[in-house]
Amino acid sequence: MTKFNDGPSGIGSIQQLHEKIEELECSCQDLSKYLEVAARWPGSNFRNAMVAYLRAYRDFWNAPGEAFEREIKVFRAQWHQSLSSGVNYLAARGYCLAARHFWRKGDLKAAEDWAKRAGILAEPLDFSPLKARSHIALALIKTAACDWSSAETLIRKAEANAPGENRNQAAVKEALGRLRFEQGDFAQAHQHLATSLALWQKCSDDYGQVEVQLLRAHLCYHSADLLRHDRLLEKAGRRCEDLNYQRGLGIIERYRGKVHLQTSGRLEKDGKRPQAEEERRKAVERFAESLRIFDAVGDTADAARSHLSLARAYAESAGTKKEAIAECEKAEDLFRRLKDHVRMATAMFAKALVLGREGTPSRRREAEIVGLLNKAMKPLVALQDRRHLASGFFEIGDLYRRWGNCDKAADYVEAAITLASKSHAERLVARYHEGELTISVEKYAQAALEAKARFDSTNEYFRLLFHDLKQPLGALYMGLMAADLDSLAEGATKRMLRRARDIAEYLNGLCADIFDTWDAERMRHWKRDRKMSLCPQELNLRDIVERILVLVRMLRPRKIRCDNEVGVAVRVWADRIILCRVLTNLFTNTAKFMPEGQIVVEADEETQSGLVRVTVSDNGPGIPKKLRDKVFEGGIQANATAHLGHGLGLYFCKIAIESHGGKIWVDREKTCEEGEDSKNPKRHGTVIHFTLPKKPRGA
Candidate from 145-159, 254-268, 387-401, 551-565 with smallest mean pLDDT: 551-565
Indicate the CATH number of 164-244 among 1.25.40.10, 1.10.1040.10, 2.60.40.290, 3.30.750.24.
1.25.40.10
Q: Where do the DSSP E strands lie in 396-521?
A: none
pLDDT of 638 reads: 45
Element spanning 666, H or E: strand 664-666
Task: Give the percent of the chain with pLDDT over 90.
Answer: 14
Say what the pLDDT of residue 290 is: 93
pLDDT at position 691: 94
Most confident of 4-8, 10-14, 576-580, 587-591: 576-580
List, for residues 460-477, the tens digit of each pLDDT value.
445 555 555 655 665 566
Q: How far apart are CA 132 and CA 156, in angstroms?
A: 10
558 vs 696, higher pLDDT: 696
Which 3 state secondary structure label does DSSP give 333?
helix
CB atoms within 10 A of CB 382: 13
Mean pLDDT score, 687-693: 93
DSSP, res 415: H
The CATH topology of domain 9-153 is 1.25.40
For the stretch 354-385, pLDDT in tens is 877 766 777 787 788 878 877 777 777 766 66
Q: What pLDDT digit, counting tens, does each position of 404-414 carry?
A: 776 677 777 76
Confidence of residue 435 (pLDDT cuts 50, 70, 90): very low
Whole-number pLDDT of residue 89: 85
Confidence band of 457 (pLDDT split at 50, 70, 90): very low
Give dist(CA 232, CA 635) in Å, integer.
53
72-88 average pLDDT score? 68
pLDDT value for 651? 77
- The pLDDT-based confidence of 458 (bands split at 50, 70, 90) is very low
Ranges 94-108, 179-193, 421-435: which has the least confidence: 421-435
Q: Give the containing element (helix H, strand E) for 459.
A: helix 439-482
pLDDT at position 341 is 79
Say what the pLDDT of residue 643 is. Answer: 36
Three-class SS of 258-281: HHHHHHHHHHHHCCCHHHHHHHHH
Average pLDDT value for residue range 504-533: 54
Per-residue pLDDT for 335 more than 90?
no
- Which H or E element spans position 34? helix 28-38
pLDDT beyond 70 at 557: no
Q: Is the per-residue pLDDT at 571 higher than 50?
A: yes
The residue with greater pLDDT, 501 or 136, is 136
**What pLDDT does 596 receive?**
76
The 8-class DSSP code of residue 3 comes to B
Answer whether residue 496 shows pLDDT above 80.
Answer: no
Whole-number pLDDT of residue 698: 62
What confidence score (pLDDT) does residue 175 get? 93
Higher per-residue confidence, 27 vs 311: 311
Q: Is the pLDDT of residue 16 over 90?
A: no
pLDDT reported for residue 511: 66
Q: What are the b/e assignments for 313-331, b being 16+ CB within 10 Å?
A: bbbbbeebeebbbbbbebb
619 SS3 class: coil
User: In this predicted structure, what is the pLDDT of residue 34?
Assistant: 75
605-650 pLDDT tens trace: 887 888 999 999 988 777 777 777 778 775 444 444 433 444 567 8
Flag whether pLDDT at 438 surpasses 50: no
State the average pLDDT for the chain: 76
The whole-number pLDDT of residue 8 equals: 57
CA distance 628 to 640: 15
Task: Kindly report, residue by residue over 280-297, the tens digit of the pLDDT.
Answer: 899 999 999 999 999 888
The closest alpha carbon to 347, from 334, 338, 360, belongs to 334
Cα–Cα distance, 52 to 580 (Å, whole number) = 49
- List of residues 6+ apart from 64 with CB closer than 8 A: 101, 104, 247, 297, 298, 299, 301
CATH among 3.30.565.10, 3.40.50.970, 3.40.50.880, 1.10.3720.10 for 537-693: 3.30.565.10
pLDDT at 455: 47
